[in-house]
Amino acid sequence: MSDVNPALVKQLREKTNAGMMDCKKALVEAGGDLEKAEDILRKKGIASASKKAARAVKEGVIASYIHLQGKVGVLVEVNCETDFVAKNDIFREFVKDLTLHIAAAHPLYVVRDEVPKATIEREREIYREQVKGKPVSVVEKIVDGKLEKFFGSICLLDQAFIKNPDQSIKELMSSKIAELGENIVIRRFARYAVGEELEPAPAA
């Protein structure tokens, strides 16, 4: 199909924030299937993002957000390659969205590599116990699936973006990397809630 419905192009653009021509090309490639076209755009964004992943990120911003009449607070550091991008409205909006997301979704880690191995093993054991009695091959598949959901609940990059649950934070970040042409890294964050229990200090 060489032509596509302009209304579909507009709809895809609103969903993905990609350029008009990119949306049109993706819809042509997907044969007019909106969902497939969105996947094509995401894959292209992730592909272009991966090429930039090795670049040094020494600029960026630290942003804060206070929510619910001072009951929840967030600090986040997001890095990029240049001061020019650090001051860009698209980058700033992305960082602002991150602070709102962290306040609402309460992640514990940025990436799954930060999750302690002991925590992962403990979860595995719980899931295995839950499906005890099933064939071993089935058990491991179920456990792996449950573990993916676990990462999706506690790791920022794996979480579904609160403003668009069909998109993960990693996919959102990849789209911004593609849009801005620079590597972006969420370095760290802190989330505070009034009255929450504190982790005990490590022994001296």
pLDDT tens for each residue of 119-167: 999 999 999 899 888 887 788 889 999 999 999 999 999 999 999 999 9
Q: Which segment of 65-69, 75-79, 135-139, 153-157 scores lowest on mean pLDDT?
A: 135-139
* Whole-number Å distance between alpha carbons of 81 and 68: 33
Q: Taking the CA atoms of the chain, what radius of gyration do you get in angstroms?
A: 20
Residue holding tokens 């990609």? 18
Q: Could you tell me how many residues make up the chain?
A: 204
> Mean pLDDT over residues 156-182, rounded?
94
Q: What pLDDT does 56 receive?
A: 67
What the block records as the tokens of 179 is 């849009």
Type of residue numbered 22: D
Q: Token pair of 152, please?
A: 């999706």
Backbone dihedral angles phi then psi of residue 166, each to the nearest 5 degrees: -80, -5
Q: Residue 93: its pLDDT value, please?
A: 97
Please state, rounded to an integer, the average pLDDT across all residues of the chain. 86
pLDDT recorded at residue 1? 45
| Greatest distance between any 2 Cα atoms in the chain | 69
Nearest CA among 84, 81, 158, 154 for reference residue 119: 154
Is this structure's pTM higher than 0.85?
Answer: no
